[in-house]
Amino acid sequence: MAEFTMELNDEQKEVRDWLHGFATDVIRPAAAEWDEREETPWPVIQEAAKVGIYSLDFYAQQYFDPTGLGIPMAMEELFWGDAGIALSIVGTGLAAVGVLANGTEAQIGTWIPQMYGDQNDVKVAAFCSSEPDAGSDVASMRTRAVYDEAKDEWVINGTKTWATNGGIANVHVVVAVVDPELGSKGHASFIVPPGTPGLAQGQKFKKHGIRASHTAEVVLDGVRVPGSCLLGGKEKLDERLARAREKAKAGGERVKNAAMATFEASRPAVGAMAVGTARAAYEVALEYATTREQFGRPIIDNQGVAFQLADMRTQIDAARLLVWRASWMAVNNRPFTAAEGSMSKLFASETAKKVTAQAIQILGGNGYTREYPVERMHRDSAIYTIFEGTSEIQRLVIARTLAGMPIR
């Protein structure tokens, strides 16, 4: 088990600098254009694939970093570049985490490479959990998967929403109800292979922020997938459902469902994304405050501005430390006994919203225009308090954990 450290090693620093260079040279120059276009930045994703950033090997190396700092360090640097483009580059990772968290070795080896494609034929993947009437309340999920034993196939019907890469993905990972009587315990995750009949893109959303990332509904109408596409396999599912039924009869504690397993694994990474956006806005504000003069002196000489910058930097560093702690705990199999993963996501996402708003204030009228990037950063930051569990849900998870109550 790696000791917790606040210092990156030489290899990590090299990767960080490489990512920072890509964010500086490739992502930032393209950020405003793709935000305005509200389209997936395929050329940027392809550039990321060419240099090895958008690849299974790169994310595997960061995911299995024994210090736990590989993923948060990578997320911070890419999202420092631009949140919308970065989400298009890393959005496939949520689907990949869904397979890693719930799939067999054979499923991991078969499907994750197909999620990325290669530098000459880039692919993306989508994780589909939220529904029009079931976002934070996963127990209200209506998408249903029914097993056809004669054909060894699962038949899936329902509508998913807020799916990053939904409809344009090569591979979709879909969470569905297999036993309605068990509520959130009766869920399972399925791979929907490319070209499967019955899967279609619904509405594509026009968003306030992260506009370079594709977000859409996914409609599943009589979708049939082979039994081998049930993540974890049917034997494991049957055993889990049997345990859940026994605990339900005995009034026992709730068991973790497939969607929650994926979100638990990814929340510190979302916190790192928020840290990257916050840091970017802070740096713009700091540079502006040291070069912009009013009344014959730089505005940073005014205590009102200087104190804001001091608070911004303190909150960013505190958020990063919470993210790193949770990431280290996760990779070293330390249980989140006080919901440390949710803590990191909550604090970092709230920090991003606050810091980007302060950056606009420091830039004044300039900050409110699209001539400066803090306006876009502020719009982008709003998503961190919403997706993969709203701030209210994070507080609920933390509170229930502190009270010794089951998470649901």
Q: Please give the full DSSP string across 250-301, using - where no structure is assigned.
A: HT------HHHHHHHHHHHHHHHHHHHHHHHHHHHHHHHHHH-EETTEEGGG
The residue assigned the tokens 């004044």 is 364
CA 1 to chain centre: 26
In sequence order, the β-bridge partners of residue 293 are 298
Q: What is the distance between the alpha carbons of residues 392 and 381, in angstroms, rounded to a whole number? A: 16
Q: What angle do CA 169, 172, 173 make, to 5 degrees?
A: 150
Q: What is the distance between the alpha carbons of residues 336 and 339, in angstroms, rounded to a whole number? A: 5
From the list 350, 286, 327, 272, the residue with the least C-alpha distance to 77 is 272
User: If residue 191 lies in a helix (H) or strand (E), which one and from where to where?
Assistant: strand 187-192
Q: What are phi and psi of 349, to 5 degrees?
A: -70, -40
Catalytic site residue from 131, 264, 375, 388: 388
Q: What angle do CA 228, 257, 252 make, to 5 degrees?
A: 125
Q: What is the distance between the alpha carbons of residues 182 and 241, in angstroms, rounded to a whole number? A: 8
* Coarse DSSP helix, strand, coil percentages of the chain, rounded to the nearest 5 percent: 60, 15, 25
Q: What is the distance between the alpha carbons of residues 243 and 240, in angstroms, rounded to a whole number? A: 5
27's torsion region: left (phi>0), alpha (psi -120 to 50) or beta? Answer: alpha
Q: What is the distance between the alpha carbons of residues 245 and 185, in angstroms, rounded to a whole number? A: 9
Could you tell me the CA-to-CA distances from 295 to 284, 289, 309, 336 in Å, in that order?
21, 13, 20, 51
Q: What is the distance between the alpha carbons of residues 30 and 44, in angstroms, rounded to a whole number? A: 8
**Catalytic status, residue 239:** no
From the list 224, 221, 162, the residue with the least C-alpha distance to 190 is 224
Strands 125-128, 171-177: pairing is parallel
Give the catalytic positions in this structure: 388
